[in-house]
Amino acid sequence: MKVIRAKSAGFCWGVERAIQVAREEACGGERRVYTDGPLIHNKQMMDALSREDIREVGDYQSKQDLSLPQEEEKDSVVVVRAHGISPQRRKYLKELGLPFRDGTCPDVGIIAGKVKLHAQKGYDIVIFGDREHPEVIGLLGYADGRGHVIANEADLESLPSFEGGVAMVSQSTMFTHEFQNLSGILAERYPDLLVFDTICGATKERQSDLVSLVELGAEAIVVIGGRHSANTKKLAKLAAANDRPAFHVETAHDLDAESFSSFSLVGVTAGASTPEFIIRSVCERLESF
C-alpha cells in the first residue's frame, strides 16, 4: 500500500513550547513537574514525559483540587498546559506554594486577552467552541460572567438578547467555514458585532492539507491523535465530509490490514499533539499492508 503524509502532521509550535517548558523545569528528572491536567492530549507522549518525572495531576477540565504530597523528596514545580486555564484556576495553582510556569499556547493567550479586554469594556462575548473543552472553560473565566458558548446554529438561536456591544471569538481548533457562517448570522442580528477569527494557523493548515490529500487521490484518510484531541476529531470529521473513509487511531496498534484491503493509496495526517515517533510507526505499518 502507498502512503502519502500531510506536510503539517505532528506537533504545532504551541505544543512544542509546552513540552519544552515542562522539560526545562524537569531538568532531566532532577525536579518533579506537575501538570494541571494532561500537558497535551496524547497519552503516549504523556507516558514518555512521565519517565522524566513530568506527572499529570488533576483532571481533563482542570476543575478538581489537586492532591499533592505534603513532603517531596525533591524540588517540584507546577506547569500550566498548552490549552490554558481560567484566571481563577491560575490563582488557585499559585496558592499551592510551588514554583509556577505557564505553558499556555501563545495563540490561546491572545484569545484570552481579547475576551478579557472586551468583557471589561462591557461587551458580551460569544465563543464558538465546545463548552466542555478545557480551552473554552479557561476562556470563559476571562469573560467575567459575560461569556456565551455556541457550537451550532441552534445554540446561536438560543442566545439571549444583548443590549450593548457584542464580540465573537473562536476556540483555536474549530472549522473556519463554520465560524464564518455563525459569525455572519450573528452579524445580521448585531451589525456592530466585533468578529475575531482566532482559529490558529496550525489548525487551518492541517485542514487545508487534509483536503490536499484527497485531491492527490487518497482513497481513505488515517488521522492520528488522542481520543480527547479536539483538532484530531475535527480532522476525522473533515475527511468524512470529503467522502473518504476516516480512521481515527492513537497508535499503529489500532490498525488492522483487513480494514485497508480495498485501498491502494491512503493519506495520513495527525493532530497537533501527536509525536513524530507515532506518526512514523503508523506510516510504516500501513506501508506493510
Distance CA 280, CA 5 (A): 10
As a residue count, the chain comes to 289
Output helix, strand, coil percentages for the chain, rounded to the nearest 5.
Answer: 40, 20, 40
Are 204 and 255 contacting, i.e. CB atoms less than 8 angstroms apart? no
Q: Is 193 helix (H, G, I), strand (E, B) or coil?
A: coil
Distance CA 8, CA 88 (A): 34
Distance CA 184, CA 198 (A): 15
Q: Which residues make Cβ contacts (< 8 Å) with residue 197, sequence separation at least 6? A: 170, 176, 179
Please report, in angstroms and rounded to a whole number, the separation of the first and last CA atoms in the chain.
6
Per-residue cell: 102 = 505557564
Which residues are designated catalytic? Answer: 135
Distance CA 99, CA 94 (A): 8
Distance CA 199, CA 177 (A): 11
Smallest CA-to-CA distance from 270 within 240, 247, 241, 244 is with 247
Smallest CA-to-CA distance from 278 within 45, 81, 5 is with 45
